[in-house]
Structure 1
Amino acid sequence: MFIAQAFRYNQSFWKYLIIPILFFGLMALNYVAIEMLGLDMNQIMQEEIARKGSNRVLFENLLAFLIFLAGLFLWVKYVHKQPIKSLTTSRKKVDWSRFWFAFILVAVFNIGVTLLDYYSNPQDYVLNFQWEPFLYLLLISVFLIPIQTSFEEYFFRGYLMQGIGLVAKNRWIPLVLTSVIFGGLHYFNPEVTKLGDIIMIYYIGTGFMLGIMTLMDEGLELALGFHAANNLITALLVTADWTAFQTNSVFKDVSEPSAGFDIIIPVLVVYPIFLFILAKKYNWTNWKEKLFGRVETSELLNVSEEN
């Protein structure tokens, strides 16, 4: 139903091409420019942080997502003639309790795991906390990180999920494509350079989990909450010199990173537990149909126009 409701609005295949072409084209041009000029982005980032401070660099990097999100919303509203609510959920209104449940679940888990690791391996961390820069970080993070994660969710699990679903007329193709593309874009993160290609299992696995949550729950609320909490808590709690988010966080990880079971465990163990909790709470049923079934316009007959 989440995908099918997009049939109701002014949809044409070409309309779904413009935004992805612009976004992926921008990413491709950026990558080509870096490769052709032989730029060391990690060194450039360190120099920018030394010159401006990590909070300002974070602010400038996140500000682009405000423009991206606003542009996507305007395109959907005025070109597709589609309400943002229908890009968010198939329910009569956005269920913010779902957002907050997923947010709190992930936040509590991430804080607990971080503190457990800190006390188990204190040699891997240094206390990085300073009141003034942390308060600025808190302000920037609370306002802009949810915008960054919201753009990614609306773009991948909302816009592309519905657009690909309208063309493919099924659910599994948009689930697979959006998950792989979402994970693939993280290939340019500094973590991949440091840890190797194996970390792509985590990124693509995260994409699949967020996609499954969206299709099973018929809306983005859970994915929005999960993604926002994951990035926000990470930015505030722990930083490292080799991560995409280098911040004035509470702790700094000074260990030499290595990729192994700690990359695979979230995908094979933690994510299934999260999905089990959500499935029990929201009474998810009919998994095969919701994840692999066809998308039929007849589904709209069960949805009133004011839904």
Structure 2
Amino acid sequence: MYIAQAFNVLHDWWRYLVGLIIVIIGVVIGQIPFTIAVFYKAFQNGEKLQDLDESKMLSLLEPNLNLFLMLLSFAVGLVAVLFVAKFLHNQSIKHLTTSRPKIDWNRFWFVFIFWGALSSGLVLLDYMLSPEDYVLNFKLVPFLILFIIAVILVPLQTSFEEYLFRGYLMQGIGVLVKNKWVPLIITSLIFGSLHIANPEVEKLGYGIMVYYIGTGLFLGIMTLMDEGLELALGFHAANNLFTALLVTADWTAFQTHSVFKDLSDPTSAGFIDVFMPVFVVFPIILFILSKKYGWTNWKDKLFGRVEAPPVDDYKILEDTGSQE
């Protein structure tokens, strides 16, 4: 059991609180280079700091530099999560990733390729159906630089979010409340709420929050049903990586030297933006994965109790970190 195995490590409530604080500090430290660069550029342009909103900050820097500095904070955050797991909880990366004997990379690559191909196909289909909404944005040298940055740093960004929300916090909250639905709901709400400052929210309205929270639920359900993070890691990495490479817009968080630029001017989050992915596409993907990996007993895996195994079945880790 993915959540229940957290009983096998140091799982006092205060450790998760301290760990979360350390992770937040790590992310803030990682944001310092981006903040310095933006403030310096604003100073050069004669901009007033109080006038810098999220969209303005993202547009000040050259897109590749902006993406690199923005993703750097997530890379530092990932290091912080793994550091906390190792030294505060005596928990290995494998243990934080999966309940299987070893990390199943086949699962990661299956969903990565599956969703990468499908999402790219949907973008190309929309381009063919509505070519007036796009302009070819491809420039070889900037795109190659983007490709290198994205391939290295985007998976670190998405892995940070998965290890923090569907991993560290899912396990931590689960062993505290001793059920599965509470950590699923809480982590999904927090995950979605942290996107509220994205420029997409300003452009599309708060209705887009249904998509962000729904995506958190989708990834959480995937993790609980599959008893591990491999599928969530693969899906999230593919979603952000292929998006960064294929299409950008002036009102998105990822403003890149992508292949296409979206010129459409959406004013509110509608069916295609929100309800289609959350209520149609995501359930279909869960159904496909359930058939491939033989998921059963949905009620217990999503709403069941999280119980500590008998003392004889695992080693109790004392606060000192020693095993008895």
What TM-score do you get using the length of structure 2 for normalisation?
0.87
Amino acid at match of 1:76: A
Identify the residue that residue 85 of structure 2 maps to in structure 1: 76
Unaligned runs of 5+ in 2: 36-48, 317-324
Structure 2 residue aligned with 1:11? 11
Compute the displacement of 1:256 (Å).
0.7
Superposition deviation, residue 11 in structure 1: 1.9
Of 118, 123, 130, the residue aligned with 1:121 is 130
Distance 2:186 2:256 in 1: 32
Aligned residue identity for 1:79 = L
Matched, 1:246 2:274: no
The residue that corresponds to 2:103 in the other structure is 94
Supply the distance in 2 between the matched residues of 1:132 and 1:27 (Cα, whole angstroms).
30
- Say which of 44, 51, 59 aligns to 2:57: 44
Residue 276 of structure 1 corresponds to: 287
* Contact residue 65 and residue 148 of structure 1 kept, 8 A: yes
Distance in 1 between the 2:97 and 2:25 partners?
Answer: 25
Tell me the alpha carbon deviations over residues 56-111 of structure 1, each in whole angstroms, 9 at most, x when there is no partner: 11111111111111111111111111111110000000000000111011101111
Could you say which residue in structure 2 is the equivalent of 1:232? 241
- How far did residue 44 of structure 1 move? 2.6
Aligned to 1:110: 119
| Other-structure match for 1:163 | 172
Matched AA of 2:173: I
Judged with a 3 Å threshold, the aligned counterparts in structure 2 of structure 1 residues 280 and 299 are, in CA distance, closer, same or farther, namely: farther
Q: Check whether the contact 1:106–1:226 (CA below 8 A) recurs between aligned residues.
A: yes
Give how far 1:39 is off: 3.1
For the aligned residue pairs, the C-alpha RMSD in angstroms reads: 2.3
Which whole-Å CA distance do the structure 1 matches of 2:217 and 2:203 have between them?
Answer: 23
For residues 130-189 of structure 1, give each alpha carbon's deviation from its aligned partner in whole angstroms, at most 9, with x where no partner exists: 110000000000000000000000000000000000111000000000011101101110
The one-letter code of the counterpart of 1:178 is T
Residue 269 (structure 1) shift: 0.3
The one of 257, 264, 279 equivalent to 2:266 is 257
3-state SS in 2 of match to 1:178: helix
Q: Work out the CA distance in 2 between the residues paired with 1:218 and 1:304.
A: 21
Report deviation, 1:38. 5.2
CA distance 1:302–1:279, shift in 2 (3 Å): farther
Aligned position for 2:42:
none
Q: Does the 8 Å contact 1:202/1:266 carry over to 2?
A: yes
Structure 1 stretches of 5 or more lacking a match?
A: none
Counting only pairs closer than 5 Å after superposition, residues 146-157 of structure 1 correspond to structure 2 as 146-157=155-166
Q: 2-side partners of 1:24 and 1:150: how far apart?
A: 16
What's the secondary structure of 2:250's corresponding residue? Answer: coil
TM-score, normalising length from structure 1? 0.92
Mapped partners of 2:279, 2:160: distance in 1? 26
Q: 1:119 to 1:159 in 2, by over 3 A?
A: same
Taking the aligned partners of 1:110 and 1:281, their CA distance within structure 2 comes to 20
Contact map agreement 1:4 1:297 (CA 8 A) in 2? yes
Query: How many residues were matched structurally?
Result: 297
Task: Find 1:64's aligned residue among 57, 73, 82.
Answer: 73
**Between the two proteins, what is the percent identity of the paired residues?**
59
Do the aligned residues in 2 keep the contact of 1:4 with 1:299 (CA within 8 Å)?
Answer: no
Moved more, 256-265 or 37-46: 37-46
